[in-house]
């Protein structure tokens, strides 16, 4: 009886093993091919990237100019208040000093807001460039047989032979 049970289990194993082998093989290749693209290089060297950077810099300079103007006005008001210190009554001087301090705090808030806006603008610029580059990156990956492409900034080390940046840059107009 044990002999028949053993033969039955062995036969069942032979029938099931092809099915289990099929499950063991997934869609992931055993050795995926990886490529690297330096998007910051693409942003700074390609015509599309340069146009986007120029538009960003124009916006940044305009906002910085406005901030610098407000800062100079605040410094001038502070210098005027220092000159008037001897002439003004102490309570009037303190009131003007408090007003000046409030303007300084407001200016700091404007600066923080400006930094946040610039950071958002920069992120949008990179997102837009990536949206434009995405079909080109996909085409390069398919042509090269690459399964994964990473941004150069997210990689600690990559062999220069896996760098696809020159190919992408050649396609970005």
Rounded to the nearest 10 degrees, how much is the dihedral formed by the CA atoms of 60, 62, 66, 71? 50
What is the extent of the structural domain holding 72?
2-171
Look at residue 31 in the predicted model and tell me its pLDDT: 81
Look at residue 61 in the predicted model and tell me its pLDDT: 93
β-partners of residue 149 are 35
Nearest CA-CA partner of 124 in 50, 37, 53, 41: 53
Look at residue 37 in the predicted model and tell me its pLDDT: 93
Total domain count for the chain? 1
Give per-10-residue mean pLDDT for the chain (173 aa). Answer: 59 57 57 90 89 89 90 90 84 88 90 91 87 92 92 90 92 87
Task: Write the CATH number for 108.
Answer: 3.30.910.20
């Amino acid at each position: 009886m044990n002999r028949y049970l053993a033969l039955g289990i062995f036969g069942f194993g032979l029938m099931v093993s092809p099915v289990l082998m099929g499950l063991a093989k997934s869609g992931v290749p055993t050795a995926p091919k990886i490529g690297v693209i330096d998007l910051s290089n693409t942003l700074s060297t390609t015509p599309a990237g340069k146009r986007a950077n120029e538009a960003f810099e124009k916006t940044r300079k305009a906002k910085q100019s406005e901030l610098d103007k407000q800062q100079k006005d605040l410094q001038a008001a502070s210098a005027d208040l220092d000159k008037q210190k001897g002439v003004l009554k102490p309570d009037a001087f303190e009131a003007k000093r408090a007003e000046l301090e409030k303007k300084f705090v407001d200016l700091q808030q404007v600066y923080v807001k400006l930094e946040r806006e610039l950071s958002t603008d920069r992120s949008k610029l990179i997102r837009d460039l990536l949206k434009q580059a995405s079909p080109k990156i996909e085409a390069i990956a398919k042509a090269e047989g690459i399964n994964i492409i990473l941004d150069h900034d997210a990689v600690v080390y990559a062999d220069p032979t896996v760098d696809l940046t020159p190919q992408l840059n050649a396609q970005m107009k």
